[in-house]
Chains A and B, each alone.
Chain A
Amino acid sequence: MMDIPKIPIGDAVESIEKWMKTYFGGLFDIIRAVIGWMVDNIEYVLTLLPPIVLIVLLALLSWRMVGWKFSIFTLIGLLLIDNLGFWELSMKSVSLVLTASILSIVIGIPIGIGCAKSSMFRSIMTPVLDFMQTMPAFVYLLPAVSFFSLGVVPGVIASIIFAIPPTIRLTNLGIRQVPAELVEAADAFGSTPAQKLFKLQLPMAMPTIMAGINQTIMLSLSMVVIASMIGAQGIGSYVYRAVTQANTGIGFEAGIAIVIMAILLDRLTQNVFKTKNKAN
């Protein structure tokens, strides 16, 4: 065993990285531009209104979608963030999280549908997803930086890689859980595969898919601190700075702001579907 020389996996990965940079540089530039544009615009919209107006609007939204108790939490929580002086940074982080989540949904749901329709595709995707979820996030920050340079864009890319698996997995699961007899009934009435998907499978899988999207949003929020290490501005950079300076007070304040955002995003996305059902 000792005679076998070390297998040069690291070298191979580096030469692949170099090769991709050479040949796909243009593509990476386009991706960078698109993601950068999305983050900027979401941030622009979020900072368009004065904080207090947005806070009241979000509180009203919470009231409508969840309930009055939760709207009080929203009001107090967001006022606290503003009071601590984290408002702008939080909005930067939220733009990153929303961009990563939207892209995860847009990419993840079609992949999930593909997994549900083809068992072969699923058996290819499963190890890839496992790899994406278990590989330490720091490791793919490096090629992300090398492809997209420092800033918010590699942060979004890293967040997508880390956060997309639940959307894919639960879309697949949701569609596969549609009872076989219902699929058979749709077939018996002469549905095309697309009709079957949009009239039966996706509507019935929606609660499961929403659970996946909810997890995706939570996971990409958990990436804000790591993303800040490569220059993505936001609340995460405060946490990161607090860690490097061993400043418990600031770290705690920024941490509370992240927790408040997390609870808010979680409850609101959890209830998107439930409210829809009630309206019916």
Chain B
Amino acid sequence: MAIIEVKGLTKVFGPDPQRAIPLLEQGMTKEAILKETRLTVGVNNASFSVEPGEIFVIMGLSGSGKSTLVRLLNRLIEPTAGQVLFDSTDVLKMTAEQLRHFRRKNMGMVFQKFALFPHRTVRQNVEYGLEVQGIDKKKRSEIAFDALKLVGLENWADSYPDQLSGGMQQRVGLARGLATDPDILLMDEAFSALDPLIRKDMQDELLELQSKVRKTIVFITHDLDEALRIGDRIALMKDGVIVQIGTPEEILIQPANKYVERFVEDVDMSKVLTASHVMIKPETVMLDRGPRVALQLMREREISNLYVTDKGMKLLGALTADQASAAVKEGLTIEDVMEREVPRVSPDVMLNELFEIMADTRVPVAVVGDDDRLRGVLIRGAVLAALAGNANPEAGESA
């Protein structure tokens, strides 16, 4: 079940904003409403749901309403119309007291410009959310220290934020957001103020952290590469409207309209697609079969090598046609002649990291899961086709 469900969420800025709602329902554009009523439409009829444990990215250019939308979720900005359901409770109907409780326990937030309190130490910053809940000093200090360990800043606990670099400051922001152990973490352009290399590190760190803490994250960004890298699903916004929601692959492969298409056309596919997207079905032979069977298979399929596996598809090695025919001549088994050192990668390796590995090897690269089972193979043709924009949909599914 969805942890957040947003239905028809709308925000109009200006005096007496309700009068813009019927105009929006009639389908008037943002510009027309501004011209007629002097009201600014921030978010128009946004609906989506976020599943527990996923990273849901809201992406759009500046002015698209994404930062407004995320603030509607915890009512830092009061919505004009619509519904926000958290575990089926209507956030918009909460009293001030209930809303405070909701913000304290259920929803953490990380800000673009870090928004650390300069008069507090790093540890005191991380403690803040616990402090307002009235948790006693000793306990909150421990929790804060653990949160700082999580982001690798435990040695900086007693420093002040201005003594830290930008990347470190945002890690403090992240620790502060995580310290209250919220169900949902809102991240508003959290990495946008960092320079590109640090930003990439932070993305990696977030993904690693996410594999440990398994939070539901709503992540706002204007950077498509970032959205594709970290998003489980992406909502694309334009002029306050969500134009498409989908997985990164769906957005890239089936853009919903011209706007999305223009947006994604410059994407470097090699940084988006992973080995699992482009691998093809492997040709295998089981170890206990004889070399004659292997040769026969190769002849039938018109290929020059095979992967050797056990019954559970566990990868044991590779066998070329030369090795197979040598074995037939000398009466050896597959096990005696096969190549045991096979180039292997895991299914979620990015394409751009594959080039080097593929350039160095004659046999196709094997895609192997954590359980050592063979999932597929990479051949140059499929990889190049994917880079040209024709991902192999069949391969994507079998992953």
Identify the A interface with B (CB < 8 A).
Answer: 179, 181-182, 184-192, 195, 199-200, 203-204
Contact = CB atoms under 8 A, between A and B. Distances in A.
Given A187-B103, A188-B103, A189-B103, A182 B115 contact: yes
B100 interface: yes
A190 B103 contact: yes
Interface residues of B, number: 27
B133 A190 contact: yes
B103 to A, nearest CB: 4
Q: Is the interface of A mostly helix, strand, loop or mixed?
A: helix
Interface stretch (B45-53, B124-132, B312-320): B124-132
Contacts of B104: 189-190
Given A188-B186, A190-B100, 15 more contacts: A179-B115, A181-B111, A182-B115, A185-B115, A187-B103, A188-B74, A188-B109, A189-B129, A189-B132, A190-B99, A190-B101, A190-B129, A190-B132, A191-B100, A199-B132
A182 B119 CA distance: 11
B182 to A, nearest CB: 10
Nearest to A193: B96
Given A203-B119, A204-B118, A187 B76 contact: yes
A186 B102 CA distance: 14
Interface in B142-172: none
Q: For B103, B112, B117, B176, which residue has the most chain A Cβ atoms within 10 angstroms?
A: B117
8 contacts: A181-B113, A188-B76, A189-B109, A189-B132, A190-B101, A190-B102, A192-B100, A200-B117
Q: For B108, B129, B180, which residue has the most chain A Cβ atoms within 10 angstroms?
A: B129
Contacts of B101: 190
A187 B109 CA distance: 10
A187 B117 CA distance: 13
A152 to B, nearest CB: 39
Given A184-B76, A184-B111, A191 B117 contact: no
A151 B340 CA distance: 105
User: What are the 5 A-B residue pairs with the smallest beta carbon separation, nearest first?
Assistant: A190-B104, A190-B103, A185-B115, A188-B109, A189-B129
Contacts of B115: 179, 181-182, 184-185
Nearest to A181: B115
A204 B120 CA distance: 10
A199 B131 CA distance: 10
B117 A182 contact: yes
A99 to B, nearest CB: 31
Contacts of B128: 186, 189, 199
Nearest to B96: A192
Contacts of B113: 181
Interface string B57-84: 0000000000000000010100000000
A226 B133 CA distance: 52
Contacts of B108: 188-189
A185 B109 contact: yes
